Amino acid sequence: MKIMEPTKENTLYLTIKQVYFDRIIAGTKKEEYREIKDTTYKKYLACDEDGNPYFDDEKISSENPLAGDIFVWNNGVYPFFPKDDLQYLSLAVGYAKERDTAIVEVTDITFRPLSDKDGKPARFRDDGENAAVDPNGEFCFWETVFHLGKIVDVKRK
């Protein structure tokens, strides 16, 4: 059970579109998603001091040459740990100075493959020089799923 109040250390700031913000506040949207990218993974994954994400050696062998790659397919099992100190999302609609904001509790963080237009995992292959869509590729684009709990605070513009 979470007893901590929102702080800079346990809260992740995200911008969001008004339509999704309104659905979260209304209680009809219970998850918020963010794609895991080379430029954003440190926001979502537990990492060492050098920025390397920690992986679960029960989900992927440390002998696997792709063990530290944030895009590894790994038979559809994401082997990384979410940041364990994230307990809240600070949501802000767009980038205007005057905008709707909210603090929302995070009850769980999971991962799932991004889907292509056909609803299949967005897998690809990459030989180091060329990357290409491949339904059997050893890599996949992933997203973080924030499972939302109670609304802690809402401010409307």
pTM for the structure as a whole: 0.92
Comparing CA positions, the residue from 48, 50, 24 lying closest to residue 154 is: 24
Coil, strand or helix at 73? coil
pLDDT digits (tens, 9 = 90+) for 113-153: 999 999 999 999 998 889 999 999 999 999 999 999 999 99
Q: What pLDDT sits at residue 157?
A: 87
Average of per-residue pLDDT values in the chain? 95
Q: Could you give the CA distance from residue 66 to residue 73 in angstroms, rounded to a whole number?
A: 9
pLDDT digits (tens, 9 = 90+) for 30-44: 999 999 999 999 999
Cα distances (angstroms) measured from residue 149 to each of 1, 50, 83, 102, 146: 12, 32, 17, 12, 10
Q: Could you give the CA distance from residue 12 to residue 6 in angstroms, rounded to a whole number?
A: 10
pLDDT digits (tens, 9 = 90+) for 79-100: 999 998 999 999 999 999 999 9
Give 114's contacts (C-beta < 8 A, 6+ positions apart).
35, 121, 122, 140, 141, 142, 143
Q: What pLDDT sits at residue 1?
A: 46
